[in-house]
Amino acid sequence: MARSDLVSGNVWEQYSKKVQSRMDNPRAMGELTEEDATRLGGKLIVADFGAESCGDAVRLFWVVDTATDKIIDSKFKSFGCGTAIASSDAMAELCIGKTVDEAIHITNTEVELFLRDDDGTPAVPPQKMHCSVMAYDVIIEAAAQYKGVERSTLQNQDIICECARATKADIISAIKTYDLKTLDEIGAKTKAGTYCKSCREPGGHEEREVYLIDILNEVREEMMQTSLHEAANTTATGENAFDKMTIVQRIKAVDAVIDEFIRPMLIMDGGNMEIIDIKENLPYYDIYIRYLGACGSCASGSTGTLYAIESTLKHKVDENIRVLPV
Amino acid sequence: MEVYLDNNSTAPIDPKVKDILCKTADIFGNANVIYKQGIETRAELNKAYDVIYESLNASDDDDIVFTSSTTEGNNAVIKTFLDAFLKGSGKNHIISCVAEHSSIKSPLAYCKTFGMEVTYLGTDVNGLVSIDELKAAIRPTTALITILTASNETGAIQPIKEMATIARGAGVPFHTDGAQAIGKINVDLQDMGVDYFTWSAHKFHGPKGIGGLFIKAKAPFVPLVHGSKNVMGGKRAGSIFNNGIFAMAKAIEIANSEMNVAYIKNHIGQLRDKLEKAILAIPDTKSYIPKEHRLNNLVVASFRGIEGEAMLWDMNKNGIYISTGSSCSSESLEASAVVEALGEKVEIANATVMFALSRFTTHEEIDYVIEKLSSIVTRLRAISMTYATQQAFSVHEREE
C-alpha cells in the first residue's frame, strides 16, 4: 500500500490512446476463409486460445505463403475486455509480413510496448497485462498448427510469470545475484508477479503448478545449504574468512584463539574469561565477554587487558572484531 | 443523452435531500454542548430521529446508531460477537450466505482468524437461500445469523421475516444487511423482526458517508469506535456527519414512503420490464431471478459472447452507465461470486451486466438504452470469437 493504491478502480484512464482507439475500431478484426487463402495464394490457419471462463478467448486467422513461410494476412476474433481486444488486434496486425518463425517472437510484452503512446507510460494498467497474454499464446498455437508440431516445442516451458514473460531461470538468477528475500524484491528486479499476481502464491486468479513463493523458498534454502557447505569445507582447509563462518564456527574460532593465546595468561594471574555472545554489527563483530575470578576486579580489565585481548583477536581472527566486557 | 443505471452501487442525490444538506451546512454545534449551538443541533437531530424511527417503524426502546456506511454497521454487528467469543462466550459459529457483500464476508474472514467458524449457505438458481438449510445449519454454538435483505448483483430478495422467526425460535440473534432494501421495498423493522438492520443513505439518493444501524432493544452490542459516551451513548463515538443525518432523514422519509415503494413497484417496475423485454428480444440473451422476488429496479442479463467490461466500454461511449460481474472489470480479476452462486458457470459472470434503475429513471432514458443496445450488441458480437463460432457458453442450455 502506498499513495498510488489509495484510489483504486482506475483501469480505463490508464488505457493508452492506442488501446482505446483499437477497442473502438479494431483494424485486424474479422475472419479469413479458404476462399481468402486461395485468392491470396497461401494456406489458411485458424487457431483458438483461451476460454470464456477465464474471461478471454481469441481466434487467430492466418494465410501463410508456404514457399516463404511468410504470413500474408492475419485477422482475429476475440471474447474479452478492451485490453484483450486491443492486444489481439495489435498482435494480428504485427503478424502481417512476418515469417511464422519471426511471429513466434511476438510476445505480449512486445504488443504492450507497441500499444504505448509514449515509451515511458505502460499501455494498460498492471492487472490488465494478464488479458494480453493470450495474444502471445494464440500465435504459438497457430505456428504449431502450421508447422505440424506440438505447441510445447515452440514455447519456453520455463515461463513462470506470463505477464512479464519472466522465466524460472531469470528469477533464480535474480534471487541469487541480488540476494532477494521477498516476492516484492523479486518483482522490483524482474517485474515477475507484479501484473495479475496469479503467479505469486496460491489463491490468485489462476492456479499454477509452480508459484514464485515456491521458487523463492527453494532457492533461499539452496543458498543457505550452499553457504553452510562452503563454510564447512573451507573451515576444514583452514581458509575460511570470519565473515563467511556460521555462528558456531565463529565461536569456535574465537575460543580457539583465546585458549591458545589469552586464557593461559589470565589463569596465571588467577583469573579467566568466557564468551557470552557474538553479534554482527556490520562492518564490526562485537564479541561480548565476561571476566571470571581475579579478572573481575582487576582495574586493567577495561584498559590494558581488554586492549590486549581485542588486539590479539583482531590480529588472529578478523580486523573488525571489537571486544566488549559485559 | 446520459443514462445512469448503476443505482444499486450508488445513486445520485435527490435535489430535496441536497437542499437540506446545503441549508443545514451552517448548523455546526456539537450535539452535546449545553449552549445555543448545541440546542440548535439537538433540535435538528431530534427531528431527524423522529422521522427515521417513524419511517422505519422502530420502537422507542430500540437503538438506531448512525454510522458512516453499511460496511461500518456490518462490522460493528459481527465484531460484537467476535468480542463475546474472545471473552469466552463459547459461541464460535456464524451463519451467512454466499450472496453477501464483502462488508460481511471480510469481517467474517477476520473472525475466522481468531478461530470462529462460518457457514456460508448457498443460493439456488433463483438466488434464494433455503429455509431448510438455514434451520439445519443452526448449532448450539451459533452466535449470529447474518443474511442480506436483497443482493445488489442479482436483486434476489430473501424471505427475511421467515428467517428472523427461525432465528428467534433458536435463540440466535439475526442481522440483515439492508443496503439494497430502503427505497426499493417497504422496510418495517417491527414487522421484519430482525435484531440488527444496517444501511447507507447513498443507496437511496442520500449523501455518502452516512448510514445507520438498527439495534433491537436488549440485543447485545459492542462499539466499533470507542470514545466519548456523549455521542449516541458511546455506541458510536466520534463527531458524526450531523448534516448528513438531517439529509438522510429526508431521504428515508421519501424512499420508504408508501408512495415511493408503490412507484418503484409499478412505474419503475414497468420501465424495468420494458427494458428486460427488449433485452430478451435480442437473440442469445438471458435474464436472471424471477420477478416475484427480484428488486423491481433491476435487470441482470447476459449477452452471449460479449465480455462484461467490453459491454461497459461501449455503453460508456454511448453515455449509458451500468455494472458487470465480469472478472476483467475487477482489480482482482475474480468473476462475481454472487452470479456464480446462482448455480451458473463462471462464463455467465463474465458476460453478465446489471441495469439498475432508480425513481428518477425516465421512459425516454429507457427508450434511448433500448435503441443503443442493439447496435452495441451487434458491434461487440462481430468482434466476438465465441459468438461467431457458437461454441462454449453453455449457459443457455445448462449441462445437467
C-alpha grid cell, residue A69: 513461410
Q: What residues of chain B have any CB closer than 8 angstroms to a CB in chain A?
A: 305-310, 313, 316-317, 326-329, 331-335, 345-347, 350-351, 382-389, 392-393
Rounded average pLDDT over A268-272? 85
B183: left (phi over 0), alpha (psi -120 to 50) or beta: left
B97: left (phi over 0), alpha (psi -120 to 50) or beta: beta
C-alpha grid cell, residue B209: 458517508
Nearest Cα neighbor of B393 from A75, A208, A54 is: A54
Rounded to a whole number of angstroms, the distance from the CA of A320 to the nearest CA of chain B is 46
A81 contacts chain B (CB < 8 A): yes
The answer to whether residue B111 is catalytic is no
Active-site residue, selected from the candidate residues A131, A161, A196, A295: A131
Tell me: the pLDDT tens digits for B31-79?
889 999 999 999 999 999 999 999 999 999 999 999 999 999 999 999 9
Highest averaged pLDDT of the listed ranges A222-231, A316-325, B355-364:
B355-364
Are the CB atoms for B218 and B63 separated by under 8 Å?
Answer: no
Q: Identify all chain B residues contacting A81, using CB atoms and an 8 Å cutoff.
A: 307-310, 313, 326, 328-329
Task: Report pLDDT for B342.
Answer: 64
Task: Report pLDDT for B327.
Answer: 59
Task: Report the percentage of chain B scoring pLDDT > 90.
Answer: 80
Quickly name the fold that domain A1-155 has: Sufe protein. Chain: A (3.90.1010)
Quickly name the fold that domain B258-397 has: Aspartate Aminotransferase, domain 1 (3.90.1150)
Q: Identify all chain A residues contacting B313, using CB atoms and an 8 Å cutoff.
A: 12, 23, 81-82
More confident residue, A177 or B276: B276
Neighbours of A39 (CB within 10 A): 12
Q: Given pLDDT bands bounded at 50, 70 and 90, which one contains residue B184? A: very high
What is the value of ipTM here, to two decimals? 0.81
Are the CB atoms for B379 and B315 separated by under 8 Å?
Answer: no
Nearest Cα neighbor of B313 from A191, A128, A198 is: A128
C-alpha grid cell, residue A174: 535474480
A 101-160 residues with CB < 8 A to B:
127-128, 130-131
DSSP B134-191: HHHH--TTEEEEE--SB-TTT-BBP-HHHHHHHHHHHT--EEEE-TTTTTTS---HHH
Bridge pairing between strands A43-51 and A56-65 = antiparallel
Q: CATH for A243-325, among 2.40.37.10, 2.130.10.10, 3.40.640.10, 3.30.300.130?
A: 3.30.300.130
B1 to A309, B353, B369: CA distances (angstroms):
88, 20, 10
Q: CATH for B15-255, among 3.30.110.40, 3.30.360.10, 3.90.1570.10, 3.40.640.10?
A: 3.40.640.10
Looking at chain B, the domain(s) classified CATH 3.40.640.10 span 15-255
Single-letter amino acid code for the residue at B28: F
DSSP H helical segments within B148-301, as ranges? Answer: 160-170, 189-192, 242-255, 258-263, 269-281
Q: Where are the domains of chain A?
A: 1-155, 156-240, 243-325
